[in-house]
Amino acid sequence: MYKDFIEALNKKYNCSGENDLSGMDLQHYKFASTTRQRALNAIETLETCGFMLDGGGIRILDIGCAYGGFSIETAKRGAVSYGIEINQKLYDYANLNNKDEVYENGNCIFILADATSPKFLEKLPHNYFDLIIVNDVFEHVYDTVQLLKNISKVASDKCVIYYQIPNGNCLRFVAKEGHTGLCGLSIIPPLFWCALTKDKYSSIYYRQYEYYLALFSYFGFDNVAPFNFSDWSNYISKDKVIERISHEYEVVKQTISDNKSSFSNAYSSKLNKELFLFESQLNYDFNELTPLDLTWKYLTTFWTGLAMKKDFKFNFMKSTSKRSFRSDDIEGIEFLLKCDDNKMLIDIICDSKYENCKFDIYLKSMIESISCYSHVNYSEQMHCEWNLTYSGIYFVLIRVIENEEKKNNIFTYPLYYCKENSF
């Protein structure tokens, strides 16, 4: 059960919870402990797009399932869920997380196997799965061709791949690589990682987004719908995008300067060479790429979307919808987020414990921050609304500020707004 899983996690990190940790230990602990909540967020995103999981019968495969959250939560919705994991320790954690769970209609099965191996094909039914999750996995797989070849054999004729892939070119990751916390590592070829990190990291491979598009297409998943917007570039000027990227790049250079004393001579030498090439490509792209492509390449932390079979027609939600939510992390705050015609509206209810706080309330898309109600004074009930100019998936970030310091963030579930069928 989840309680047993958290106890095992605390034992691993020798702590009583995340408040005892800091740095990369805290980041890795939170990634593990939130496995079920992250799964619920992914499920909400899929359902926002019209891929409804309730009702049972859907057959799901989670590749690189790690701690098992997605397989468990979808099984609770009535799905037949398989989780594949190559790492023995992670496989054991997933089974502990799943221990004694009762599923009314669904089923949850974990299998220890390499998804690029024949063993994977021997253990799983072929032409079977309706939804295949590849979440934060592609960057850990060297033989991605074999992975997609295996996926194509177990996928049904109408299978959808849900993917999330960290972007090594994102300037945020260049400043601090997501797995290691090391500055500049994401733009260094993986061939050098072992030597530069003393053999600690050797299985992370950042690639260009077009690489994955080519793979999806070759193996029959021609219909790719990233969670961005086809008409987005009509509303954001190129100068504005270049200005933002240039600012982020200055932050990268300053971060490298601040950390250079901790670099070995070999690391500094290699990073300087790669940074020169990176900056040359950046300047070239400023002239050649559209605002959307620049944002997708340099400002998007995770490429997220759906890859579908060529003839599969995905029905994105077009009707008005809403999400209500009570924060588990911050007691005393709940909200109702809804999309009404061409407006996004949020009502936030707070109890009196926040009377000395202020709030920043951001409307965000999967690509960018749209606009913000900044430093809103406490009120028992707050209301914000935004006009929407283009189709896409939106969510709201509520930032609680106490004594001019950020206290915590609340991310709402996403909503899909369709101005027209632009996907």
Residues facing 361 on adjacent strands: 373, 398
Helix H or strand E encompassing 391:
none
Mean pLDDT for the chain? Answer: 86
What is the C-alpha to C-alpha distance for residues 216 and 288, in angstroms, rounded to an integer?
Answer: 25
What is the C-alpha to C-alpha distance for residues 75 and 370, in angstroms, rounded to an integer?
Answer: 35
235 pLDDT tier (thresholds 50, 70, 90):
low
Rounded to an integer, the average pLDDT of 215-223 is: 94
pLDDT in tens, 329-355: 567 888 888 887 788 899 988 888 888
pLDDT in tens, 133-167: 999 999 999 999 999 999 999 999 989 999 999 99
Q: Is the pLDDT higher at 393 or at 158?
A: 158
Confidence check: pLDDT of 319 > 50: no
Of the chain, the percentage scoring pLDDT greater than 70 comes to 87
Q: Which residues contact residue 325 at a Cβ distance below 8 angstroms, ignoring those fewer than 6 apart?
A: 334, 335, 337, 412, 413
Q: Is the pLDDT higher at 188 or at 418?
A: 188
pLDDT in tens, 365-382: 755 677 888 889 888 889
91: left (phi over 0), alpha (psi -120 to 50) or beta: alpha
User: Phi/psi of residue 35, each to 5°?
Assistant: -55, -40
Segment among 9-18, 259-268, 377-386, 387-396 with least mean pLDDT: 387-396
pLDDT for the residue numbered 267: 92
pLDDT for the residue numbered 327: 55
List, in order of start, the domains of the chain with CATH numbers: 34-167+206-228+301-308 (3.40.50.150), 232-298 (no CATH), 322-417 (2.60.40.10)
Residue 32, SS3 per DSSP:
helix
Range list of H helices, 49-117: 69-76, 88-98
CA distances from 188 to 61, 86, 195, 277 (A): 32, 26, 12, 10
What is the C-alpha to C-alpha distance for residues 409 and 401, in angstroms, rounded to an integer?
Answer: 9
Segment among 154-163, 178-187, 251-260, 383-392 with least mean pLDDT: 383-392
pLDDT for the residue numbered 352: 85
pLDDT for the residue numbered 231: 46
Confidence check: pLDDT of 328 > 70: no
Rounded to an integer, the average pLDDT of 161-178 is: 93
In this prediction the pTM is 0.81
422 pLDDT tier (thresholds 50, 70, 90):
very low
Segment among 30-44, 71-85, 124-138, 387-401 with least mean pLDDT: 387-401
Rounded to an integer, the average pLDDT of 96-115 is: 93
pLDDT for the residue numbered 202: 66
pLDDT in tens, 280-305: 999 999 999 988 889 889 988 889 88
What is the C-alpha to C-alpha distance for residues 5 and 32, in angstroms, rounded to an integer?
Answer: 10
Rounded to an integer, the average pLDDT of 8-37 is: 89
316 pLDDT tier (thresholds 50, 70, 90):
low
Chain centroid, CA 299 distance in Å: 14
